[in-house]
Structure 1
């Protein structure tokens, strides 16, 4: 839905199911319910999660036509896709495989191009559209600097081929589409400095001459095109986990000329480590329900001197909880955005408020907002609501913050 000139929705990766049939059934079930709960009478924006499997079906003309007809009947529109998870994302062990296939593969490139072709047909005229994607790959898969450099060269070429496709789609449709790369803890790109490094060390040095030659344009124009079609997905949870201050991050991206295609509104778990052993035992007890086998729950700890220590998953961090000198943990667990504490645990909800205040002061930062809480099925039972109520409550909280 539009609010203060922003497009706001929730990401449909909250719904289980990888097939287009399952995805469409969930949309038909929950979009009308959420609209009714929020009393929305204007056009309702959808943040569509489209798996590889679903994209192969939806690209067919008859399926696209049926979906377009349904969007029209529901007074709804699609403005953004989540193209990060390629395959199974629910009710199975995902962990680091959420990055597979990564940007070193043609599978990731082809899936992304296919998704953009679909989005170009769904996106209303006069709007820009974006697809969020993996931060290149999972860093622990690369065992040497040489392996990383080889991977980055291949990934950069695949990203450039997507850009060339987006240039052609813009010629055909008049619509500006952007790939929104989403930094994440333990991704090759996990913070603002590494996102800027992608541009400064890879995309621009390799991409400017490549695009200039391919499109018969100047390298200055090639840089402009690159920065139009490759942008950042700023996931509030992810940047909070690495302790970045939103205003500083936004300023760094602006200085580098990097645009923010989408802000994903999400909250991480936050824990202040108490000094007393008994209190630490209580914290550990409270964290155990969040130690589950589906997703990676990376932990970034802050020490008294401000230095950071990373753990690839929550169980690894819990092993040292009783002896650590760390003061705070931030945990990659997309908890409900409308809650700021869970008894002995807290969330980074305050970071969402700061981000929303920043974009209200400077609306040119982005116009795409997407609530992304996808872990409802693995949350402790006392934090769960019905899915329709949960989605509505999250959106309502954001809307009230933006008034």
Structure 2
């Protein structure tokens, strides 16, 4: 969906398809008609944005076979969909039975990561709508935090230098600018926006509202910090974490300690655990907790649990409530629907949930003064 900010700029709202398992192009195309088109129809939108996740194997296919890329573009058009952003954080296997730390590999010390990211950028220049000349790709915040030696720092810096050179060349050759946003995440080399400023030196950033919340960052301060440092915010991932007050019964969280994804947990006093099961064993129960578990934007969990929806609302206000829009892309990214304690019962129920999240986000954008464009 498209919105016009009072400053005249266009803001795109999409949902991320990493919620759907697909490791080949046939699977990607099938999910467009099975999920994305029904979501669009539920919203009554003539065109819906999708933030595609294209696994390494899919990116290889699209780079090497132009006919397959044309097939994808036709499938998008047929289903009333458009693409302005790609999620390049997971490399492959994101809906495997166990993901955990695998999602951080290959990292930015490797040639595989920079090649994959550049391939996504090249694909995106060919998927962008005719009237759009810029897109975004989100990626991991360099690597998991350990090991992270001086030699790895130097190697990652060289990879980013290559990325920036080739993105500039791609823009000159195509007339379309693709910006890559490194996404701070708890447990990684770059956990916070402050660390993004220190370690990424003006590189584009993808803000994830769930990650901001788990790090107990104030969204307005985080946005101001990035703007002051000259770090472009290339995308907001609209997401919510789980939250629990100090002294509340921690047993309510146990149903969310599932085996597929990593659920980094932070206590208000600074204590940290890399996964929820470890947190339940050792983090102080008298402090508030926030858990990296993406919960639906529109629906509150059962008490005593809460959603950090207030952090997302503050992030939207910081990015769009001022005189100018500070990012052009908003991507709803609740990839954890299938591992919720009460998951959706089939494709129709999942489409209902995703549509409700998008409707909630659209309402918040219009409340901030953006106007929905219906073309």
| TM-score, normalised with respect to structure 1 | 0.85
Q: By how many angstroms is 1:14 displaced? A: 0.8
Match of 1:70 among 66, 75, 85: 75
After superposition, give the CA deviation of every residue in 1:135-173 in whole Å (9 maximum; x if it has no partner). Answer: 000013x1xxxx522111111111111111111111111
In proportion to residue count, which structure has more helix?
A: 1
Give ranges in structure 2 of 5+ residues lacking alignment.
5-9, 367-375
Which deviates further from its counterpart, 331-340 or 118-127? 118-127
Rounded to whole Å, the distance in 2 between the matches of 1:375 and 1:196 is 29
CA contact (8 A) 2:22 2:28 kept: yes
C-alpha distance in 2, partners of 1:258/1:110?
A: 23
Distance 1:292 1:87 in 2: 20
Residues 251-278 of structure 1: CA deviation (Å, up to 9, x unaligned) = 111111111000000000001121xxxx
Partner SS, residue 177 of structure 1: strand
1:86 aligns with 2:91: yes
TM-score (norm 2): 0.91
Higher Cα Rg, which structure: 1
The separation in 2 between residues aligned to 1:10 and 1:124, in whole angstroms, is 17
Q: What is the match of residue 305 of structure 2?
A: 345
Q: How does 1:307-322 map to 2 (within 5 A)?
A: 308-320=270-282
Structure 1, unaligned runs of 5 or more: 201-226
1:47 aligns with 2:51: yes
Q: Is residue 153 of structure 1 aligned with residue 171 of structure 2?
A: no
Query: Secondary structure at the residue paired with 1:402?
Result: helix
Partners of 1:99 and 1:191 in 2: CA distance: 17
| Structure with bigger RCO (C-alpha 8 Å, 6+ apart) | 2
Instruction: Give the structure 2 partner of residue 263 of structure 1.
Output: 236
SS in 1 for 2:254: helix
Q: 1:33 aligns with which of 34, 38, 51?
A: 38
CA RMSD between the two structures: 1.6
- 1:213-261 CA-partner distances (Å, limit 9, x unpaired): xxxxxxxxxxxxxx5xx41000000011101111111111111111100
Could you report, residue by residue, the CA deviation over 1:19-47 in whole angstroms, capped at 9, with x for unpaired residues?
Answer: 22111111122222111100012x32221
Shift in Å at residue 384 of structure 1? 6.7
Matches within 5 A, 1:4-403: 4=4, 5-41=10-46, 43-59=47-63, 60-125=65-130, 126-140=132-146, 142=147, 147-200=148-201, 227=202, 230-274=203-247, 280=249, 283-284=250-251, 286-303=252-269, 308-320=270-282, 324=284, 326-362=286-322, 363-381=324-342, 386-403=349-366
Residues 344, 350 of structure 2: 8 Å contact kept? no
Shift of 1:6: 1.1
Structure 2 CA distance for aligned equivalents of residues 40 and 361 of structure 1: 24
